[in-house]
Amino acid sequence: MSRDNVSLAVVRRLPRYYRHLHELLGEGVTRISSRLLADRLGLTASQIRQDLNCFGGFGQQGYGYNVEKLCREIGDILGLGAGLRAVIIGMGHIGHALCNNFDFLSAGVTLVGAFDVAEGVVGSSVGGLTVLHADELETFAAQTCPEIGILTLSRSDARAMCRRLSALPSVRGLWNFTSEDIRQERDGKPVEYVNYNDSLMTLCYRITNSRE
Amino acid sequence: MSRDNVSLAVVRRLPRYYRHLHELLGEGVTRISSRLLADRLGLTASQIRQDLNCFGGFGQQGYGYNVEKLCREIGDILGLGAGLRAVIIGMGHIGHALCNNFDFLSAGVTLVGAFDVAEGVVGSSVGGLTVLHADELETFAAQTCPEIGILTLSRSDARAMCRRLSALPSVRGLWNFTSEDIRQERDGKPVEYVNYNDSLMTLCYRITNSRE
């Protein structure tokens, strides 16, 4: 099935579908109508049907969706079963927050390495990993073959590290938390970014342009 | 000018326009063609013209855009001059990262209060603020009138705190960092969220569905 033409807007809704379906499973719900699923997600039933139709038919008229099956299908579409491994570069506040608090496994990803250059940080233990010196990245990657590089280092070092990560044969995508605007696909490798500044500015727009 | 029908997709591109234009100003660039701006942003020139046309005419045929004027106009559209004030609730890793490292002023926002409940944290100093006990939120807000509430506390406490923040008369929007899916506009108050899980799952999709 060709997924090349599924819009990124639809793709970005899939994780929420997955999370809510996973919670419904945990609540013991076995089937759900598109209307109830829509209520829960804050979407319309028609939007849900349209989205899911991009990936093939799910659900039955009058029956709704089988929660376990739909959850599993969306998980497959998202690549959660692919066993992707990630390394994280830059152990400041955000790096620590990710290593300690973020549930990588819920996204099917295993964090396998953490890197920094600061003296007190290299050698310390964070989230079950020992922080290695960034000089060891290439050697480590040759042995462990991570697919995802996570950039949580300072902006000034971001582009150089991005090039190093992209050059690693195993790396297939980057997760960028720095404020350096590394967005374009490099050599076809997708870059997802988390940019607080964009998000806050969007909130300011919505506040100052609301209908009150 | 009515902005009610400007799509959120366009709105979400505005902060990047602003950031790049602001940088261009800093580099001493006074005017730029839509083509060069497009290259810099990784968009097409036609997309840029379409986006900016939502907000009125900018730029001149053959001249391109005046950088300072366009930057200022987009800043106005984004509400960066509105002097919005924010309070942050929950001083864990993310809360600390925001207080210490995030440049709120670049988005025109001033952080005016930080709150937590933990004994060692209340009374400590973070990013120039003294952390207050969450019990003092209503009193503080009555005096300081913050417009933005930032949720960086644990998921289990998120909804209750969301209700308290929404109930404050001055609050006009929320910035949600918790994994609790608080997205719907409450009483018309917009909620922007930063959800790492959604972002990582989207990256996994793009990696496993790339054309390689």
Condensed to tens digits (0 to 9), the pLDDT of residues B80-110 reads 999 999 999 999 888 998 998 889 998 999 9
Q: What's the CA gap between A11 and A200, in Å, rounded? A: 22
- When pLDDT is averaged across residues A148-172 and rounded to a whole number, the result is 94
**Chain B, 47-106: which have a CB under 8 Å from a chain A CB?**
77-80, 82, 84, 92-94, 96-98, 100-104, 106
Confidence of residue B186 (pLDDT cuts 50, 70, 90): low
- Two tokens at B192? 């922007």
Q: Which residues does residue A116 pair with via DSSP β-bridges, in sequence order?
A: A133
- Two tokens at B129? 């603020």
Contact across the interface for B172 and A210, Cβ inside 8 Å: yes
Which CATH code fits B3-77? Answer: 1.10.10.10
Residue whose structure tokens are 């406490």:
B157
Measure CB to CB from residue A14 to each of B82, B173, B205 and give the nearest one.
Answer: B205
- Two tokens at B10? 């366009």
- pLDDT per residue as tens digits for the range A51-85: 888 887 677 777 889 999 999 999 999 999 999 99
Residue whose structure tokens are 């918790």:
B178
Q: Which residue of A has its CA nearest to B43?
A: A184
Measure CB to CB from residue B107 to each of A9, A204, A211 and give the nearest one.
Answer: A204
Q: With an 8 Å Cβ cutoff, is B43 touching chain A?
A: no
Torsions phi, psi for B119 (to 5 deg) = -55, -45
Closest Cα to residue A18, out of B202, B153, B175? B202
**Chain B, 113-142: which have a CB under 8 Å from a chain A CB?**
none
Model pTM score = 0.83
Neighbouring C-alpha atoms within 13 Å toward the C-beta of B179: 17
- Classify residue B29 as left (phi > 0), alpha (psi -120 to 50) or beta: beta
Q: Where in chain A is the domain with CATH 1.10.10.10?
A: 3-77
Q: Which residue of B has its CA nearest to A15?
A: B198
Q: Where in chain B is the domain with CATH 3.40.50.720?
A: 84-198
Is-contact B140 B122, C-beta < 8 A? no
Instruction: Considering the domain delimited by A84-198, tell me its CATH architecture.
Output: 3-Layer(aba) Sandwich (3.40)
Q: Which contacts qualify for A11-15: CB closer than 8 Å, 24 or more apart?
A: A11/B202, A11/B205, A11/B206, A12/B198, A12/B202, A13/A43, A13/A51, A14/A51, A14/A74, A14/A77, A14/A78, A14/B201, A14/B202, A14/B205, A15/A78, A15/B195, A15/B197, A15/B198, A15/B201, A15/B202
B9 or B208: which leads in pLDDT: B208
pLDDT for the residue A187: 74
What residues in B contact A203, CB-CB < 8 Å?
148, 173-175, 190, 192
Q: Which of A104-113, A179-188, B99-108, B173-182 has the lowest mean pLDDT?
A: A179-188
Is-contact A64 A45, C-beta < 8 A? no
| Mean of pLDDT over chain A | 89
Is-contact A109 A84, C-beta < 8 A? yes
Q: With an 8 Å Cβ cutoff, is A154 touching chain B?
A: no
